[in-house]
A = this chain, B = another copy of it.
């Protein structure tokens, strides 16, 4: 498989029921290098389990996101996902013109995060943040 067996057994150990639908979603996201749209996950999942519902896909993806197993990226008003890599975590910058995605180590956000915590007692969750803006190439065109 694609190296997500550890996630599966960890989830099962936590008492979650590992249904074929969940395994399929996990498989699809793990197999993919890069970001998958929710609808894309659905279409791929249906190849294996023709009856799976889109609501299940969304619920599963949100569930995995909450557990830190997958990461969410907003690309062009649509939710995308990818496997969270805890050995090599990263955040995303998405260009609103070309929908291009650049990555960022969380170091860039560390100081900001700490200040929110210290000065406001607010615990930000920046794992799934998407930074919008304009990329180098698109700006050059203007």
What is the interface of chain A mostly: helix, strand, loop, or mixed?
A: mixed
Residue of B nearest to A112 (CB): B112
Q: Is A120 an interface residue (CB 8 A)?
A: yes
A93–B121 alpha-carbon span in the complex (Å): 11
Q: Decide yes or no whether A7 CB sits under 8 A from chain B.
A: no
How many residues of chain A have a CB within 8 Å of chain B? 27
**What's the minimum C-beta distance from A54 to chain B, rounded to whole angstroms?**
17
**A133 interface neighbour in B109, B125, B135, Cβ under 8 Å:** B125
Question: How far is B15's CA from A15's CA once the two chains are assembled, in angstroms?
Answer: 61
Q: Does A96 contact B (CB under 8 A)?
A: yes
Pairs A-B, 5 closest by C-beta atoms = A121-B136, A124-B133, A123-B134, A125-B133, A123-B133
Residues of A within 8 A of B (CB): 93, 95-96, 102, 104, 108-109, 111-112, 115-116, 120-126, 128-129, 131-136, 139
Beyond the given A122-B134, A124-B133, A126-B131, please list 12 additional residue pairs across the A-B interface where CB-CB is below 8 A.
Answer: A93-B120, A108-B112, A111-B111, A121-B139, A122-B131, A122-B135, A122-B136, A123-B133, A123-B134, A125-B132, A125-B134, A129-B131
